[in-house]
Structure 1
Amino acid sequence: MVKTLSRANYPDLPFYPERMIQFGEGNFMRAFVEWQLQQMNKQGLFKGSTVLIKPRNQGMGPRLDQQDYLYTVLINGIMQQQLVNDREIITSVSRLINPYTQYDDFLRLAENDELEFITSNTTEAGIAYDPDDRLDNGPQKSFPGKLTALLYRRFELGKKGFTIIPCELIDRNGEKLKEIVCCFAHEWNLGESFLKWLDEDNIFCCSLVDRIVPGYPHDKATELEQELGYEDKYMVMAEPFLLWVIEGPEWLKERLPLAKAGLNVRVTQDMTPYRERKVHLLNGPHTAMVPLGLLAGLETVEEVMTDPSFSRFVNLLIENELIPMLDLASEELRSYASAVQERFNNPSIRHELTSIFLNSISKFKTRLLPVMQRYHQEKGQWPELMTLSFAALLLSYRGDRLQRQDSPEVLAIFDEAWSDQGTVAQSILSNSNLWGEDLTQLPGLVESLEANLRQLEVVGSRAALEHRIGVM
């Protein structure tokens, strides 16, 4: 019988003082932020740990406590054409506080002068205003409410502020979090002095995170425990690739020396180009491959990338239609695109196309439509491959070939369009509720989509795709 991962069984593992507070204790952050703290600690660059805060009164329970907040990160995949298979016990978590049962302990964090960073990942819905939150009804329901209460206690004690780096996957996350905190400060009548301290003594950074973290390896857990020699109920699997872009002051590079530790972390004055690069070069190809791949009978991203025709489609899409439309240096874009394609080929991660297919209309609108429009503006024609993917998306939302996964409102729009005797593209593109504008006003787009739809219907997804990549 294997032993349990604990400090009793591994007494030589180091302890570090608490220097960071983290709202959120899930797989992603433990394999992203805490893993990065570990790399800095091993080089003597940070010498700190993080205290985790449960954002909701559910989720991870006492098991992590029974493991003395130790757990294993398993890095599996391909990086720079090399197979990576690393295992590491993470020692950068000090404890977990549940504010729903330990509210005084939560507020007492404000007393610790060594704590200087706050990170978070409370899901995209976490940075939200809750009108029922009050200062005196702690614990507050929302993450911004709890954060405001902690910051106010810190202010009352006359101490320095924090550097706050939210990791939720929403655009301008730091600005939106600060906006809600300031809203609570006004509503709770916390005073102008507190608002001034919030603005002058605290830094709310916007950030972009990128790492695929499948989480606990259920299918390999027993095998891995035999390999590791201990039981770990909170081991986390992650890919080798990592990127953290933080929009913040230059001094952050020294205070949080992630890049100095050799990690792929960028501190910048403007993260917009990096966000566009990720959205269009990572998420964009995902979105483009899904309807065509599913209609051709493929199931996973790996199958797409090992299929000669579909992998060529992805390569040409990135090289000819996406990279030329982005504003970063082409060398940097190609390096990132190469890393993306390595990630798509990761045999350790089964990434289902059906999971990416969820809410594909809003994804296409964000990830590919702006690039299509810029391409048309600059070249006077619609990009062949993105337009084919767009048509395949419209066809896949007819509902007779694939199981659609979207809101009832979106599905109702498509049901009505496909039941009409008129042109489907005309009906769908004119609906500004879907796209935020009337796309029929874009010259030639309706006609191009209709031609692609006819070809998809007659010859099928694979043949239509192969026709496109054969003539480019």
Structure 2
Amino acid sequence: MMPRLSDAVLAALPESVARPRYDRAGIRPGILHLGLGAFHRAHQAVMTEAVLNAGARDWGIVAASLRSAETRDALAPQDGLYTVATREDEREALQVVGALRGLIVAPEDPGALLQAMVDPGIRIVSLTVTEKGYCHDPSTGSLDEAQADIRHDLLHPTAPRSAPGILVEALRRRRAEGIPPFTVLCCDNLPANGETVRRVVTRLCALRDPGLGTWIGDAVAFPSTMVDRIVPATTAEDRARIAAALGAEDAWPVVGEGFSQWVIEDHFPLGRPDWAIAGAQFARDVAPFELMKLRMLNGAHSALAYLGYLAGHETVAEAASDPVFARYLAMLWDEIAPSVPAPPGVVLADHAGRLLARFRNRALRHRTWQIAMDGSQKLPQRLLGPLRHALAEGRPAPCLIIAVAGWMRYVMGIDERGAPIDLRDPMLPALRAASAAGLDQPQDVARRLLDLTGIFGSDVAGHPALAVDIGNALALLVRDGARQALSGLTATR
């Protein structure tokens, strides 16, 4: 029987497998991370592992799941160890990461999480809770005060459920005990993510205790970041392949591409790890990198997810390797690029070429369905931002328009073969109600979806020509299907 990955088997792993080069027992936690998902374990934790391997001893990570115990249950019997498989075409490199020095499931013991966050040794609280985890209105970036978890946290502030509520209560306790506040480091795809989280957290404070809100606004650092690595969901095939290579069972390895980028605003009053060792970039202004990533990568990813799924492409690599979709992506990036001020040293046309190569990495089975989740939270920054920019400049934007229509066609809930789509979205009831007219009335569906101001604001539906164009694009997708519609759109290129 194959042994389970753990500290006891590290020495017996094959020489080709990278592993911690430090005494894990001597590592002290300095980071508490909210959101124990695959992306954190393949990105920030890997870069922190490099810092520990270089000799730092006070930057171990305590990681907390805010919803499910599944990841904790997988990793706890492994002493917090897990494998990162870096895949490029036929090549795969394995690294066992030891940076996780504590695992908490918040719903099981909220007090344990808050107690850990008050520990003076914790100097950074980082987050990967997805866009919806911030309980904000994606069209404005403001706190959604009607959101269920926010209402709960206002009624029960010392037993919070939401990420903003947890941050507020932990900071309140540190203030009460005279402990300097930790730095809040958002690593999610939000525009101006540090400032957005500051706005959400201080607003929640203001509703609860205006004095606390003023203190947090003045005393707490919320640096912005840009994170970039493609990390698909781990499959049973991944687990079996990695176990065979290790000679040990890993219940929850993660898989990622070779490319990894992290740009960080350098504002950490209590100190930070030297993540530059692992290739992180520290900058005064993260905004150009963030905007480029949100629009060029994430915007194209979402367009490819909805239209590719409808066309029957299970993965991003399949869709990006389809000549019709490749031509569409090139045209889409041409529409997006004028809305993106290039960061220093970046040529956007070259960047688009590199993105296409990354999308075509067949070693990563990044499912279009996975990217399509929570579209109501992603559309404003990924597609509507560059669409508004094109409108303001009077530029045609047929590729952006059909991408928005692709999302609408997807949320109608029936694919092109007549099978139901497994929709996952925090606004699902509103989306179902708006699309109830069905495939026979695409113009009506488009109009009703555009009326959802939490996604589109008030300006998109109020732009008559744009609303007609989106409705026409949705009707085209219903009539001809995604691939044929894109074939017609790209025929002149």
* Normalised-by-shorter TM-score class: 0.7 to 0.9
CA spacing shift, 1:89–1:352, aligned 2, 3 Å? closer
In the other structure, the counterpart of 2:399 is 385
In the other structure, the counterpart of 2:45 is 34
2:244 to 194, 204, 226: 226
How far, CA to CA, are the matches of 1:103 and 1:430 in structure 2? 42
Q: CA deviation at 1:373?
A: 3.9
Unaligned 5+ segments in structure 2 are 12-20, 136-148
In the other structure, the counterpart of 1:151 is 171
In the other structure, the counterpart of 1:121 is 128
Task: Assess if the C-alpha contact under 8 Å between 2:324 and 2:487 holds in 1.
Answer: yes
In the other structure, the counterpart of 1:257 is 274
Q: CA deviation at 1:90?
A: 0.9
Corresponding residue SS for 2:259? coil
CA spacing shift, 1:14–1:150, aligned 2, 3 Å? same
In the other structure, the counterpart of 1:435 is 456
What fraction of aligned residue pairs are identical, expressed as a percent?
25
Corresponding residue SS for 1:141? coil
Task: Assess if the C-alpha contact under 8 Å between 2:32 and 2:61 holds in 1.
Answer: yes
How far, CA to CA, are the matches of 2:342 and 2:443 in structure 1? 38
Corresponding residue SS for 1:203? coil
Unaligned 5+ segments in structure 1 are none
**Aligned counterparts, 1:39-54, within 5 A:** 39-44=50-55, 48-54=59-65
Whether 1:275 aligns to 2:290 is yes
Corresponding residue SS for 1:4? coil
Q: CA deviation at 1:36?
A: 1.0
How far, CA to CA, are the matches of 1:298 and 1:275 in structure 2? 28
* Stretch of structure 1 that moved more, 99-108 or 271-280: 99-108
How far, CA to CA, are the matches of 2:459 and 2:181 in structure 1? 46
CA spacing shift, 1:261–1:426, aligned 2, 3 Å? closer
In the other structure, the counterpart of 1:8 is 8
Whether 1:66 aligns to 2:73 is no
Whether 1:409 aligns to 2:420 is no
Task: Assess if the C-alpha contact under 8 Å between 1:133 and 1:140 holds in 2.
Answer: yes
Q: CA deviation at 1:52?
A: 2.4
RMSD, aligned α-carbons: 4.1
How far, CA to CA, are the matches of 1:446 and 1:106 in structure 2? 47
Task: Assess if the C-alpha contact under 8 Å between 1:39 and 1:261 holds in 2.
Answer: yes
1:226-255 Cα shifts (integer Å, max 9, x gaps): 211222223222222323343453889x83
**2:126 partner letter:** T
1:404-436 Cα shifts (integer Å, max 9, x gaps): 54734334444548656x966995687464633
In the other structure, the counterpart of 2:326 is 311
**1:164 partner letter:** V
Whether 1:246 aligns to 2:264 is yes
Corresponding residue SS for 1:222? helix
Q: CA deviation at 1:180?
A: 5.6
In the other structure, the counterpart of 1:163 is 183
Q: CA deviation at 1:49?
A: 0.9
Task: Assess if the C-alpha contact under 8 Å between 2:62 and 2:102 holds in 1.
Answer: yes
How far, CA to CA, are the matches of 2:408 and 2:168 in structure 1? 45
Corresponding residue SS for 1:21? strand
**Aligned counterparts, 1:86-101, within 5 A:** 86-97=93-104, 100-101=108-109
CA spacing shift, 1:463–1:257, aligned 2, 3 Å? same
Corresponding residue SS for 2:174? helix
* Stretch of structure 1 that moved more, 390-399 or 139-148: 390-399
1:328-371 Cα shifts (integer Å, max 9, x gaps): 25834334423322221121222333444456577555433432
Corresponding residue SS for 1:86? strand
Q: CA deviation at 1:37?
A: 0.3
How far, CA to CA, are the matches of 1:325 and 1:111 in structure 2? 43
* Stretch of structure 1 that moved more, 26-35 or 7-16: 7-16
CA spacing shift, 1:331–1:127, aligned 2, 3 Å? closer
**1:89 partner letter:** V
Task: Assess if the C-alpha contact under 8 Å between 1:148 and 1:185 holds in 2.
Answer: yes
CA spacing shift, 1:125–1:408, aligned 2, 3 Å? closer
1:91-140 Cα shifts (integer Å, max 9, x gaps): 2122224565483685266354x432221234444434644448998554
**Aligned counterparts, 1:76-87, within 5 A:** 76-77=87-88, 85-87=92-94
Count of residue pairs brought into register by the alignment: 459
Task: Assess if the C-alpha contact under 8 Å between 2:5 and 2:81 holds in 1.
Answer: yes
Q: CA deviation at 1:6?
A: 2.1
**2:78 partner letter:** Q
Q: CA deviation at 1:387?
A: 4.1
**Aligned counterparts, 1:141-220, within 5 A:** 141-179=161-199, 181-182=201-202, 192=211, 198-220=216-238
Corresponding residue SS for 1:8? helix
